[in-house]
Structures are given as structure tokens and as C-alpha cells.
A and B are shown apart, each in its own frame.
Chain A
Amino acid sequence: MMYRYSLRGRGDLTEWRDAARAYLMAGIVPDVIEWRTMDDADGLFGFDDNNLPPPHEAHPPLSVPPAFIRLAGAVICHSDPTRFALLYRLLFRLMHGRHLLQMASDTDVVAAQRMAKAVGRDYHKMTAFVRFKELPLSAGTAGRRRFFSWFEPDHFILARVAPFFQRRFTDMDWLIATPKGSASWDGETLRTCDEPAAKPDLKDETEDLWRTYYASIFNPARLKVKMMTKEMPKKYWKNLPEAALIPDLIANAEASVIEMGKKAASEPLPFHHRIQEAAARAPVPSAPAAGTLPALKQEARHCTRCDIHCLATQTVFGDGPADARVMFVGEQPGDQEDLAGKPFVGPAGKLFNDTLAEVGIDRRSLYITNAVKHFKYVPRGKRRIHQKPNMGEIRQCRWWLMQELELVKPELVVAMGATALFALTDMRQKLEDVRGEPMAMADGRILFVTVHPSYLLRIPDEAQRMRELGRFREDMRSIQHLVRTNATYHSGPSNVA
């Protein structure tokens, strides 16, 4: 037996779904159903001819994947008369294999995806190319401003896209008329109807400003007409106020570029010279006194002693009081330090701060710096991967570190990690061999060696990390002790430990 079903076919899914459910419950195969729309019925068939199988009370409720409902909601808006049959075929096949829609290369799936895509594009183009014209309120009346638009979509998308305009143009009344129906909003109710509308003749003065903008934002030196027509096909042009300008803009493009070329480089106006003179007169900001930390910091901003500076945001110089008794030296700034321009503000800095706080050392009393003053990394997508500085870079940057030591004159220098140790002493020893033992530096200072806090962050094993954290804390306590027993500074480091 053949079944025949006529739909209004205006992009309403429930209409099709009710019929499809009835057929499916009765197990009707796709081949024997003829789906029609009222438009192609020519009056020969009407809704009266719709024949559905008898209702199937005992049938368990049907379920389909949500992806199908989404897909069908779009496909049903397409103007292709085969859409109903295609959807029923998909629905029928889904009952036998729920993964059908994931078979991206299946003929029916591809056909439905294409229709959905065409509807999506039509929807998108409507949101883009609707142009409202203002209908002025009659003189002396107050109220919401009123706007009107005429648009010609390819598919039955009006009801689908109307909420978009409601969400966007909430504070004005508007009406969009199309050959496939119209939609309107009055601040309270969104109405849509299927009745084909006719194109009215309206004027809006602001269109002139829009055309001015369109012509001026166009760059005649980069003509790419194909690119334009791909995204703004000619079928839309008749309802776009700006499109009338296109032929002239294209025709005159080359001439206007040649014209531009001829006009090259004339004498600047007085305005320019005045600015240049003012700039020349502007006082140079006073530089900090030479031989001080601020002067050194200022100088380091433009350091190009090695190649790392090309990569980094800025020089991250040491930070702390110029008369600090203790100087901490780390390896190099990391991602966060590079952005903020201050040492030890990232994750390692946080751990460092926490440890200092636990032990009771005031960070503000310390001078904190790094062996290398620029961040060295390789970009990897959205992140930067830290790279160890090489010996050449450390040696180049030692120049700054030595200046800092000269100016701050700390009693105690703490090297955190092997890079700092190498920078301060040229020693390439295993950290464990020298850690925790105060040593004499050439100039009578005490050197204390511990690990770099970022090492602690990288230990994967929880128990080991806790152990190492404990040792780091102990090191900080030793440092505190060293500072408190001020006498050690004068009597030499050998007595300490």
C-alpha cells in the first residue's frame, strides 16, 4: 500500500514529526510514503488525502538521539521538497543503528548535513544582510521607534531566525517581511506568519551615511572581487543599500591607486613641524644618579649582551632594598616574571614566599635577583616552554649580577639552583655536595647554596616532594640563623654550621 502525506512545509518540525511518528510506529518503510507540500499539491491533493496508519497504542515510546532532532530542525527549513522523505529515511534507519549520524560519509547523512548547512548559511546571511529602514513616527507622537525590513531568504528560516532579531533589537519595534512570510516584534510579543508579503518602497536617510562609510572603508589597492562575491553573493545585492556602489568602486579602483602614487610625498604642513619642535624641546626625564641601583636597572632595560633579549618582554632586574643584608639569586625569570617585570612572582615565587613566611623571614628585607635577567623559552602554541640558559648567556649576564653585588654589598648570598651557583662562583658542582654549608666567597661574603623552588614544584612523587619541601624550609631556617648570628660575618664562615 502507498501512503501519501501533505504538509504545509514552512519549516515547522512538529508537523512532520507527528506524521513520521505514526508511520514509524506502524513500521512503514520509507519507500512507500509519498511526502508532499501544499505548494506542489496544486489543489489536486489537500490535507484531506493524508492517510496515516491506525494508531498503535501498545508501541513503546520512540527515542532518537538529540543530534537527530537538532539536524531535523534545520533540514525541515530547507526548500528542497525531498527533505521530508530524506528525514524519514534517516529516522527509519536510526531505529536499526543509533550511530548512523556519526557515519559522516553515509549518503543520507551527507545529504542531510548539506541541507542543514545550506539552512545554516541562509540563517547566517539573513542575520547579516537584513537592512532596517526607519518608519518615522507621525509628528507629535512619542513612543518606540519603528523599523521595517524586506528580505528574500532561500529557505523557510523566518521563524527560526526571528528570535535572533528579538534578542538583538529589543528596544525598538520592527517588522521583517519576506516572500515566505513575515515576523514582527512590538516589545512584548514576537509574531510570525506564513503569508507571503510584498516589497514596499521606503527611504531612510541614514543609508546615505552608511554608503559613505562603505565607499571609504574600501581599499582600492587590494581589489578582491571574487572574495567579496563569494561571501556576499549577487542575489542579495538588490536589497542592500550599499551594493549599488560596487560597480563604480571596482571600475575606479585602479585609477585611484595610480592617482595616489602620483601624489607621493609632499611637504608636511606646519602642524608637523610644530610637533617636531615641541618634541625636541621636551625635557629629557632625569636619569637616576650614576653608580646607584636605579641607574643600573635603567641601564639593564636595554641590555643586548646576548640573544635572549629578542624573545623576552622585558629585562627582569633584581628587586629589594639597596642595603639588604641578604641577596637571593635564582636562575632566570619565568613566564609570569617576564610579564610582570619582577622576579619570583610566578608559581615558584609563590612557593618561595610561602616558605619565607612560614620561617618568618620578611621578603621585603631581601634583595632578590636572577643569574640571567631575560626569560629564555621556545613558543609552543599558546604557551612558552622554559629553556635553561647556556653558559655563554650566564657569563654575559654575570656582568649585571656582579654590579648588583657591588652595590648592594650583602653579607650573605644565597644561590638557588645550579645556574645561580655557576653564575656566582664559576663552579659546576653537584648541588647536593655544597648545599646547606655556608662557604666563603672571594670578597669575604658568605655563600649559601640551596635548590631552586621550581625544582620542588616538579617533583611528581608527593612524599618525596614533602620531604624536599621540608629540607628547603630547613635551609631557609639556616639562612635566618646565619643572619641573626651577625658575628659570623666578622669571624668568618668556618665557625658557623
Chain B
Amino acid sequence: MKKSLKERLAILSDAAKYDASCASSGTVKRDSSASGGLGSTEGSGICHAYAPDGRCISLLKILLTNFCIYDCAYCINRSSSNVERARFTPQEVIWLTLEFYRRNYIEGLFLSSGIIRSSDHTMEEMVLIARELRTTHNFRGYIHLKTIPEASASLIEEAGLYADRLSINIELPTDNGIAKFAPEKRPDGIRQSMGNLRLKIEEMAEPTLQSKRRKKFAPAGQSTQMIVGADGANDATILGTSARLYGSYGLKRVYYSAFSPIPDSSRNLPLIKPPLMREHRLYQADWLYRFYGFEIGEITATRPGGMLDLDLDPKLAWALGHREQFPVDVNRADKERLLRVPGFGTKTVKGILSARRFRRLRLDDLKRLGVSLKKVQPFIACDGWTPHRLVDRSDLAAMFQSKPEQLSLL
């Protein structure tokens, strides 16, 4: 018997939830006031709801179908899994997107799919949905398409004309991991697709001879996702892969997804609680690399086994390992040094640099800038404050450790 729309929505959103990204940011600003249609994007994304897993719900994140000819061990939709299968018609996806959007539940659509028949066939249906939304329904909201790596170049090119963001999942941090857990996927093919996407984005961004206006092609760029904790790769390897991906393909984001037990799981995989803290630390390290001027090597070099400290955030761990570089003088140090103080974010540093042009800063000033004094005091000096030997104390790390917690059984 054919499943109702509601039943299929349940199956196909359940199947999509292991994709971490729900971002609707980073695209061009546009709205419907001139076109009289529906939808807008205003630069920063909007999270319309949060689920109890702490993740934002910004987009209608669904699969076109969860039938898949691939058998990737970590994936809920792999062909050998006994999960219930379903599929939407393109018209149903369009209807859901528009009706949810009109009620302000979502910013747009994040469409992904299991591979049915062939890569091109699957990609064609996804492109059709994006094209219909944009042209027939005059939809100006956000569209994120998960690109099928083996799909033909012309389909990817068309996808980029309608979608804000395209993404291809790298899945696992090493080629060996992919070979083991996703035997049908080709890591070099994934890298080549990302490379082609970057070339296409750059080519389209070039002003043409005829007009200065640049063509719009995936204006929110491309992103990818790596599963953490399914294979044996350590944090240093994972972050090294991220750095390579950022540098090579101009990715907007690399998402880390703690491997989460899936229904009907393969025997090859750990059936444990997802390593959420590890995932969190990886995101922190990722931020340090992208916004705080840290090299990946600096963050992981001194860590045993190449694993980040789960008890301390990587910036604090780095500071405790480099005490000779502290205290940092808030009134004199340059931006690069200020950014290395645990407890100073990029906004705080901006505030300090602006404020100290007019007066010398004291602890009170920092407090008003929203800094947690307890956290920064050992690492800084300012008017009326020097930490003396605080930064050399052997129990300094312990001062930042969180209280012991009762472990749950699972």
C-alpha cells in the first residue's frame, strides 16, 4: 500500500538527519519585492526551530528517496539496511517546500538523495526540483543541493544556477576509511568533483567582457561533511584533511558529524553514544584554524595520539602548553597575540583594539566588553593587573577542568 505523504515525510526526514549542515547563510541578498514572488535571503541565515539535539532547523532537510544502490556501512540508507524505504515525487518536494516556507517554518530546502538507477538520473530529478522552484514558483528562498559526485558536469552546472549551495560529502577523513566503509565511493572522484566545482564557481565569478555583472553560480559556495569516530582516524588526521579541503577547494565549511548509531547498524561499526564532545573540540579547532591564525600543527602537535584534549578547549590547551608566551599585555599586544588569549573571541579583540586607541584598559573595561575575567586573568596583563606567577602554577589546568560528572550507562 502506498504510504501517505506524512508517513513518507517521517521516513525521508529521518533518513536525512545524519547530515549535520542546516546552514542557510552566506548567499547573496535577494528578496521578492520586485518579482512579487515568494522568499528572500538576507545574508545571515535564520534558524526557525531547534530540536532537542541542539541542532538548528533552518531548512527542510529531506531525501528525495532513501532507496540507494550503494552500501556504505555508516549510512542509514545503505542498500543492505532494513529501514523502511520511500520516495517523494518532485512535485511533492516542491509542495512541501513552498507550504512550509509560507508558514515561516523554514528558510528553504536542503535536498539530498539516495542513488537510484544512476547518478545522473538522481541528479536530474534534484535539478528539476530546484529549477521548478526558481522558475515556475518564483521562489527566492535558500536551496542547498547535495551533489552526486559522479553526476555529469552539465547537470552540476545547471544545479549551480539554481542552488545557493552545493555540497559533496567527503564522508571519511582518509582514503583508506572510504575504501573500507564505502566501497562503491571513489575518494579521488569526490576530490575531483570538488575541484571542478571550485573552478566553475571561480569561472562564473569572473566578470565577462560584455558586462561587469557576474553570473550567479552557487553563491553560498560549497561545503562538505566528515564523519567522526566511525573509522580510526585521529583528530590530527581529521583536521589535516579539513585544512587541505579548505585550501584546495575553497570550501565554506567542513562539517564534522559524530558518528551516531543508526537503526539496523552494520556489524563493522561502533554502536556507542556519539562522541559529541570530540565533535565539539574539532569544531573549536576548526575555528582556531580559520579565524584565529593557528596552524593545524600547532593545535595537535603536542597532543598524545594526535587526539584533542576532551576536558580543555584547544585554545586553552595550547596556552597551557605555551606559558612562556603569556601574559599578553592587553594595552600593547598586536591582534595576532590577543587572538591567542583563551577567553578572547574575535569580537572582544576588535573591541579591545578600538577601545585602547582612546584609553588604557583595565580589568573593568574587559568585563564591560563581556569577557569572563576568571578565564582570562592568568593570561593577560593590563593597567592595575599582572598575573605574577599565576600562569606558571602547576595546577592551572585543574582550575579550568570541569567538575566530575556521573556517567550514564549508554
Contact = CB atoms under 8 A, between A and B. Distances in A.
A252 B338 CA distance: 45
A257 B410 contact: yes
Contact of B37 (A149, A166, A170): A170
A147 B102 contact: yes
Contacts of A335: 248
Interface string A263-279: 11111110110011001
Given A232-B49, A264-B265, A339-B199, A172 B102 contact: yes
A168 B13 CA distance: 25
A212 B36 contact: no
A142 interface: no
A208 B65 CA distance: 21
Contact of B192 (A214, A228, A242, A314): A314
Contact of A217 (B13, B247, B351): B13
Given A313-B248, A340-B199, A231 B47 contact: yes
A231 B361 CA distance: 32
Interface in B347-373: 350-352, 354-355, 357-359, 361, 364-366, 368-369
A455 interface: no
Contacts of B188: 301, 313-314
A314 B191 contact: yes
B266 interface: yes
A104 B354 contact: yes
A128 B46 contact: yes
A134 B102 CA distance: 9
Contacts of A384: 247-248
Contact of A221 (B14, B195, B261, B352): B261
A281 interface: no
A105 to B, nearest CB: 4
Interface in B174-205: 175, 184, 188, 191-192, 194-196, 198-199
A59 interface: no
A260 B246 contact: no
Contact of B51 (A149, A228, A264): A228
B298 interface: no
A169 interface: yes
Nearest to A220: B53
A224 B52 CA distance: 6
A254 B61 CA distance: 24
Contacts of B368: 105-107, 110
Given A170-B32, A384-B248, A339 B52 contact: no
Interface stretch (A84-92, A353-361, A375-383): A375-383
A250 to B, nearest CB: 5
B250 A213 contact: no
B354 A102 contact: yes
Interface in A226-263: 226-228, 231-232, 240, 242, 246, 249-250, 253-254, 257-258, 260-261, 263
Interface string B282-305: 000000011000001000000000
Contact of A341 (B10, B99, B192, B244): B192
B273 interface: yes
A379 B248 contact: yes
Given A99-B358, A129-B48, A209 B6 contact: yes
A136 B35 CA distance: 24
Interface of B: 5-6, 9-11, 13-14, 16-18, 31-33, 35-40, 42, 46-57, 60-62, 67, 69, 71, 79-82, 85, 96, 99-100, 102-105, 138, 175, 184, 188, 191-192, 194-196, 198-199, 243-244, 246-250, 258, 260-267, 271, 273-274, 276, 289-290, 296, 350-352, 354-355, 357-359, 361, 364-366, 368-369, 408, 410
Interface of A: 99, 102-107, 110, 124, 127-134, 145, 147, 149, 164, 166-172, 187, 204, 206-210, 212-228, 231-232, 240, 242, 246, 249-250, 253-254, 257-258, 260-261, 263-269, 271-272, 275-276, 279, 301, 310-311, 313-314, 335-336, 338-341, 377, 379-384
Given A212-B6, A264-B267, A264-B271, 15 more contacts: A105-B366, A110-B368, A127-B46, A166-B33, A169-B104, A172-B38, A213-B9, A218-B53, A222-B55, A228-B51, A231-B56, A253-B52, A266-B82, A266-B264, A382-B250
22 contacts: A110-B369, A128-B47, A132-B103, A164-B40, A169-B102, A170-B35, A172-B38, A208-B6, A212-B6, A228-B52, A228-B53, A261-B261, A264-B267, A265-B265, A269-B82, A272-B80, A275-B79, A310-B175, A313-B191, A314-B195, A379-B244, A384-B247
